Structure 1
């Protein structure tokens, strides 16, 4: 693959991340694109042929993603585990590299593949424009139509730095923050009945950790009989939060929002309305609330569950 901007004058984020990935490939690796002649490198990374329709799923049937690959996804598909192992100093077939390979494709590379191939994020007309995503920022590195200098080489180098830097930042976050959270969530799931007899309230020892995706995964892995509904955790100020579990990983809808009469109410007025001392707030959408103490947050959760049961009995 040439390091210059290929396929015409426009900068492609897929090419930028593909080239960045290849620069992280260990030069001593088998059939390394950095050291092997083209005749010994068995793959090609041009996705523009009319007949091309490969996805991660078609090339690796155990993977669920069916988005058509760009050059970014092609390089990542063939060399991603080796690249991550080299960057992290971890075994290529170890659990960390395996988990991070999937996480980075789903939450970083797939978006680039989709945008580069013109795949819409959802059907229908979007409600608002997204103009600050990675592909858009790379696109703005192209020369403007009326710039006297139309050379894209400098912009391509800047694109390499931009995309490569964001890839490394995302890898660092997932490796050092997201991945360790799984153990916390798994322990909380196993101890959930110690928090509340319902078994649908989770307590995390720390706030701010990315728990949601791990929770959804553990619900499936452990075949929990009931979905988890509410999560308790301390905030950085020493108070406590009660948060509803989202209905899914990519939605703002909650499985069980806090009661509607509490929403938008604060402090003593909320405590009197809810019948729970120490209340601080409930968000206007009901997805989260706060209390000064753990016991207060737990009582807010229990009263939310009780009101749900009461509403169910009345409707039945």
Structure 2
């Protein structure tokens, strides 16, 4: 004889344990195998989450893929946070581990390195902008583009991976005219600001009338530990920063794709048809 503890729920919503005693032969299914039961409790079976958390899945995937994104440890800034977010949206780096270190040995093991290492070499996927010899802009690397703001790691990653990134996020094909319009719009109205602030480039000449302290870069900076905080660990803040910049970028992309771009198409069509309207008005006025 053995007891099976069955969890029942009354109509009142309160849980009650009921003991049912039956011969083991009656409780055992006809196709029962001795090794198919485990010693878990009813609570374990009924209420333990059946799926791993997203963080656990990500960590397991990181181990499986083995891809690594390298950036520096310590205080973080908006440019490398945004660069890491961009890379994580690509299929090849979706589950990549972000290694935050300044150790050259560890960085050498990374598949892509941003904002650290003193090297800019797209063929090796090295995207640092701190070396004295670095002065690249969008225009210098892509002469057809007009922006001359010095690039940070965010701009470098966007320049080299931006079309693939936007294609992945919008389902537009690379080479699509609309995707190119979004590519330009998002650099000019989102990424370039991050480049300029990180490189210390002022938005204007002369003295400012007032200070702006609520930019995306400023809010990322505020996620770093304060100087007098008991813990100076930056890992948790870095994760929050990636989530924040990611949400803002995706929100901006959604606005430009679903609202701004359709409005732009309407205006373009109206401009193209303006001669037809003028011809019609001239014709009706002569009647």
- TM-score after normalising by structure 1: 0.56
- CA distance in 2: counterparts of 1:189 and 1:149, whole angstroms: 59
Change (3 A) 1:28 1:138: closer
Listed as ranges, the matches of 1:258-269 within 5 Å are none
1:170 is aligned, of 244, 252, 268, to 252
Partner of 2:199: 117
Q: Which residue of structure 1 aligns with residue 163 of structure 2?
A: 81
What stretches of structure 1 of length at least 5 have no aligned partner?
Answer: 198-316
Distance 1:26 1:196, change over 3 A: same
Equivalent residues in 2 for 1:35-184, closer than 5 Å: 37=111, 42-184=124-266
Is 1:9 aligned to residue 91 of structure 2? no
Instruction: Decide whether aligned partners of structure 1 residues 98 and 84 sit closer, same or farther in structure 2, where only a CA change above 3 A counts.
Output: same
1:239-293, Cα deviation, whole Å (9 max, x unpaired): xxxxxxxxxxxxxxxxxxxxxxxxxxxxxxxxxxxxxxxxxxxxxxxxxxxxxxx
- The answer on whether the counterparts of 1:5 and 1:153 sit within 8 Å (CA) in structure 2 is no
- What are the equivalent positions in structure 2 for 1:149-228 lying under 5 Å apart? 149-190=231-272
Q: What are the Cα deviations for residues 4-52 of structure 1, in whole angstroms up to 9, with x where unaligned?
A: 761x5222100011000000112299xx999x94699533111111111
8 Å Cα contact 1:20-1:164 kept in structure 2: yes
Q: Is 1:23 aligned to 2:106, yes or no?
A: no
Q: Mind listing any 5+ residue stretches in structure 2 that lack a counterpart?
A: 1-66, 99-109, 113-120, 280-287
Q: Distance in 2 between matches of 1:124 and 1:28?
A: 43
1:151-170 deviation digits (Å, cap 9, x = unpaired): 11111101100111111111
The Cα shift of 1:188 comes to 3.5
What CA distance in whole angstroms lies between the structure 1 residues aligned with 2:97 and 2:224? 27
Q: Which is greater in Rg?
A: 2
Relative to its length, the structure with more strand (as a share) is 2
Structure number with higher helix proportion: 2
Partner Cα distance (2:93, 2:79) in 1: 25
> What SS does structure 2 have at the residue aligned with 1:27?
helix
Equivalent-residue separation in structure 1 for 2:272 and 2:122 (angstroms): 51
Greater length-normalized contact order (CA 8 Å, ≥ 6 residues apart): 2
Output the aligned Cα RMSD.
3.1
Distance 1:62 1:14 in 2: 24
What is the correspondence of 1:270-289 to structure 2 with a 5 Å cutoff? none
* TM-superposed deviation, 1:187: 3.4
Equivalent residue, structure 1, for 2:14 = none
Cα offset, 1:137, TM superposition: 0.4
Q: Compute the displacement of 1:189 (Å).
A: 3.3
